[in-house]
Structure 1
């Protein structure tokens, strides 16, 4: 009887049911789109951070910057060239290999970090900047002016031509622990030609070169790259998964330490936590037990991301969520008011049913059942519209720009697996310490999770129950006499 009556009433009041369901569908669809876009923003930020530190990195710990001493001079690279007598056209070349930020941690920090509670693995790395100056001096020619020259006096004339012509090249180098290549910036790139490092090449004269840098300098697998007089064999070409590579050249850690005159030193320790839920606790533990370091999580670095990605993320997290809440509340109120209004128009019907023996509880249940079905229909429509909207965003893939400022603190990629980074980018010694910002283009996606679908179903049921509550309260107050008074 309940379902027969329910089906008949919904068919008879199709327009009213459609209005209630449409309002709920709009609110639910908006919630799905906003949640999926927010998830896409988080994924995009994760890709940005992974491009710096590799897959799964979540945290950095750098050497704490010491306050500047009064009268202290700023460290700057200095080039010195010797005069080469008798060889006016001799080319001069010099490389300066320096640790980025001029700040390092002892290599023993890796073992100390690995021993902290909640740390599953720890790997050290060294970020280096190479500046190469290559060119030649050309002496000028003295041109004597015509005319009388006084005996014993200087010749009249001037020096013309000559000068110096030097080319300056600067590129980044990352020293990686070849025995533990599962963490670190190299994991954000794929070997597209040649091979990666072998576990035994701890200090070998080999290099893996980023594909963009290799194309610019016309480098190939099997060729050589000279750094500060050391010839390195190129064994592989790596292509970054997204955005720019973390470094132009990758070397075995010991080789990079030798070139940078930083033996036994590192700038970065990449750490994998035993559980992603423990990252905050591990951060506190490292800060407490390892003095002189600064710990930064991926969330801290994400705050340094600007550009359209940051703007869109803020809109999705702020305006989008508040808008979806307002629309949902409005949809629930409209559904409740429309259901209550429909009950007031069915006074004769419910009064007659009560006169025939229907209990108030049965009348209330009938109204609530109709409202719940309207809510479920609205939920189905909302899920369909929301999925279509999320699909459209993913299909057209609007491109957002992430600007990574050099002033950002250390951080890490927001990958899964509960990983963090010790000794990082924006702080001393990190890959962004050279003062240059990086702009990355990221295609936005809008993934819809089962949690989002479950939330939509819960909202549909809640909307139906709220509307049913309004209508049921009105129906429970009706008396059989009301029906008799309306009989003509």
Structure 2
């Protein structure tokens, strides 16, 4: 009887049911779209942060910034050996530690021994400046008036014309990675597309993995060699960054990088993975307390430096989008409740007659709630369909957002890599990354949508059921013409 009466009433009041369902569908669809876009922005921000230090890293440890005027002992200087041929080409490489700030390799062990640390790996970020060119001697013109050229000079007014020096300066970044611990570090933010990565036995081998963009620019490939400060490295793999720029142009074993930079047993960054993601803040505090002169940077710290359209859109989705969804849902629930209550008012004679025939108030209330619940589920189906369509549209369009990575104020990552042209050392400059926005819809979001549909139906049914429970058989008699 319940379902027969329910089917007949819904069919008889199709327009009213459609209005209620459409209002709920609009609110539910908006919730799905906002939730999926927020999830997509969260994923985009994760990609930005992973491009800095790689997948799986929860925090980094670097040397604390030196006071102004201190620690700037590595000035850029180039020296050339004199050669017999004046026109001979001169060449010099200068291998420098990014930021000129290093930690002892023993710091990696200290960090790894802290409570809550699952793994710690060291890395050395370098910048190589290569200067190539030649000195050209000038031509000595005879002095005016036919004077003689004196010994060691031009005598009577002779002049030197032409000559000079022409040099090209190129720079590229090199990151020394621990070949025995490949699970952490910036190389994990790239995918090996050709060749292979390092073997655990290649901790001091002259092998290199090259970034795909740099390989294309310099015509490098697996099997070829690249020379860094006089040392030839065999290219064993080509890596492509998952998003944004790569952390470095070249990756080599850590010990080789330390040798090139004359930085034996030194690292610039310690990459840390926490045993529990809920304990990151406590691990950070423990490291800062127990290991002096270090700066610990977490994902949350880096996220606070992200600006640009990605940050703006994320803020809008979190604040405006969320509150707009709540407002629309509240309005949809109220409208559904009022429409249901109004429909009950128009059915006074019907419900009064049913009560006169022996229906209890509870049975009438259940009938009204059942009808409202079906309307809510119908609205949920429509809302999920609209929400999935909106999310698919956002993903299909994939609007590009810009993430401006600003300075973290002395610690953490950047200095080169995506931040300033090299590996993940100390951050000294900002870098803009373009990220394509997607809107993934999770099962939890669908579950929330179903819950909202049921809640909307129950709320609407509550309004109507309360109104129906107050009806008396005498009301039906007064409405009879």
Asked if Structure 1 and Structure 2 have the same fold, meaning a TM-score greater than 0.5 normalized by the shorter chain, the answer is: yes
Is the Cα contact below 8 Å between 1:195 and 1:236 reproduced in 2? yes
What's the Cα RMSD here? 2.6
Q: Deviations over 1:116-163 (max 9, x none)?
A: 222222211111111111111112223346447599994235432111
- Taking a change above 3 Å as real, the CA distance of residues 435 and 158 of structure 1, as seen in their structure-2 partners, is farther
> Unaligned stretches of 5+ in structure 2?
none
Q: Deviations over 1:285-314 (max 9, x none)?
A: 222322222222112212222233222222
CA distance in 2, matches of 1:408, 1:25: 47
**Secondary structure of residue in 2 paired with 1:383:** helix
**Paired position in structure 1 for 2:277:** 276
CA distance in 1, matches of 2:360, 2:349: 15
Q: Deviations over 1:3-30 (max 9, x none)?
A: 2221111111110110010000010011
The question of 1:257 aligning with 2:258 is answered yes
After TM superposition, give the deviation of residue 396 of structure 1 in Å: 3.0
- Taking a change above 3 Å as real, the CA distance of residues 53 and 13 of structure 1, as seen in their structure-2 partners, is same
Instruction: Report which stretch shifted further, 16-25 or 341-350.
Output: 341-350
CA distance in 2, matches of 1:480, 1:223: 94
- Taking a change above 3 Å as real, the CA distance of residues 138 and 426 of structure 1, as seen in their structure-2 partners, is closer
Instruction: Report which stretch shifted further, 376-385 or 351-360.
Output: 351-360
- Taking a change above 3 Å as real, the CA distance of residues 453 and 412 of structure 1, as seen in their structure-2 partners, is farther
Map 1:461-472 onto structure 2 (within 5 A): 461-472=454-465
Figure out how many residues of one structure are paired with residues of the other and give that number. 475
The question of 1:107 aligning with 2:100 is answered no
Map 1:128-147 onto structure 2 (within 5 A): 128-144=126-142, 146-147=144-145
> Unaligned stretches of 5+ in structure 1?
414-423
**Paired position in structure 2 for 1:475:** 468
**Paired position in structure 2 for 1:447:** 440
Is the Cα contact below 8 Å between 2:38 and 2:314 reproduced in 1? yes
**Paired position in structure 2 for 1:67:** 67
CA distance in 1, matches of 2:385, 2:438: 18
Q: Deviations over 1:333-362 (max 9, x none)?
A: 111111111122112222222222222222
**Secondary structure of residue in 2 paired with 1:280:** helix
- Taking a change above 3 Å as real, the CA distance of residues 329 and 145 of structure 1, as seen in their structure-2 partners, is farther
| TM-score of the pair, normalised by structure 2 | 0.92
Is the Cα contact below 8 Å between 1:406 and 1:433 reproduced in 2? no
The question of 1:90 aligning with 2:91 is answered no
**Secondary structure of residue in 1 paired with 2:37:** helix
**Paired position in structure 1 for 2:169:** 168
Q: Deviations over 1:159-218 (max 9, x none)?
A: 321111111111111111111111111122222333322222211222221121122122
Aligned counterpart for 1:79 among listed residues 77, 81, 87: 77
Is the Cα contact below 8 Å between 1:305 and 1:403 reproduced in 2? yes
After TM superposition, give the deviation of residue 241 of structure 1 in Å: 2.4
- Taking a change above 3 Å as real, the CA distance of residues 430 and 225 of structure 1, as seen in their structure-2 partners, is closer
**Paired position in structure 2 for 1:334:** 335
Taking CA–CA contacts closer than 8 Å with sequence separation of 6 or more, which of the two structures ends up with the larger relative contact order? 1
CA distance in 2, matches of 1:387, 1:6: 29
After TM superposition, give the deviation of residue 87 of structure 1 in Å: 2.8
- Taking a change above 3 Å as real, the CA distance of residues 49 and 434 of structure 1, as seen in their structure-2 partners, is closer
| TM-score of the pair, normalised by structure 1 | 0.90
